[in-house]
């Protein structure tokens, strides 16, 4: 695969990035090195090697989900700095700007 200016510009456009000419040259060089590395990996004989799907043989090490009760509304707002008894009150953080 050839790494050229068009490829770098297309990748930059897809990633919504902007590069100057010096940065494009660095990226072209880095991409060419990555492609060369992958080509080296393709030279390996992987015949008879099973694909690795998981890093361990454990199937599921997570606990079972257990339905439990939750705290009541009164307990939930008990330690809140400001509440109306039902909801938490917080400072307004969204301002309407004039266009």
Q: How confident is the model over 24-67, as pLDDT tens digits?
A: 999 999 999 999 999 998 888 989 988 888 787 777 778 888 88
Mean pLDDT of 68-72: 87
Residue 18 lies in a domain: yes
Dihedral angle of Cα 38, 44, 47, 53, to the nearest 10 degrees: -40
Residue 37 lies in a domain: yes
Residue 84 lies in a domain: no
Residue 88 lies in a domain: no
Residue 68 lies in a domain: no
What does the block give as tokens for 82?
């400001």
Residue 83 lies in a domain: no
Is residue 85 scored above 90 in pLDDT?
no
Residue 16 lies in a domain: yes
**Torsional class of 98: left (φ above 0), alpha (ψ -120 to 50), beta (otherwise):** beta
How confident is the model at residue 22, as a pLDDT?
Answer: 95
Is residue 98 scored above 80 in pLDDT?
no
> Across all residues in the chain, what is the average pLDDT?
88
Residue 75 lies in a domain: no
How confident is the model at residue 99, as a pLDDT?
Answer: 63
How confident is the model at residue 14, as a pLDDT?
Answer: 95
Q: How far is CA 15 from CA 3, 8, 9, in A?
A: 17, 10, 10
Domain that holds residue 14: 5-42
Give Cβ neighbours of residue 5 (< 8 Å, ≥ 6 apart). 24, 28
> How does DSSP classify residue 79?
T
Domain at 25, CATH number: 1.10.20
CA gap 20, 36 in Å, rounded: 24
pTM (2 decimals)?
A: 0.47
**Count of structural domains, the chain:** 1
């Amino acid at each position: 695969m050839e790494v050229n200016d068009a490829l770098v510009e297309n990748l930059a456009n897809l990633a919504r990035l902007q590069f100057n000419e010096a940065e494009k040259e660095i990226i072209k060089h880095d991409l060419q090195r990555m492609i060369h590395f992958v080509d080296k990996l393709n030279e390996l004989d992987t015949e008879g090697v099973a694909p690795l799907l998981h890093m361990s043989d454990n199937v599921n090490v997570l606990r079972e989900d257990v339905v439990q009760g939750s705290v009541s509304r009164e307990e939930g707002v008990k330690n809140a700095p400001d509440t109306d008894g039902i909801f938490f009150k917080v400072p307004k953080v969204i301002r309407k700007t004039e266009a």
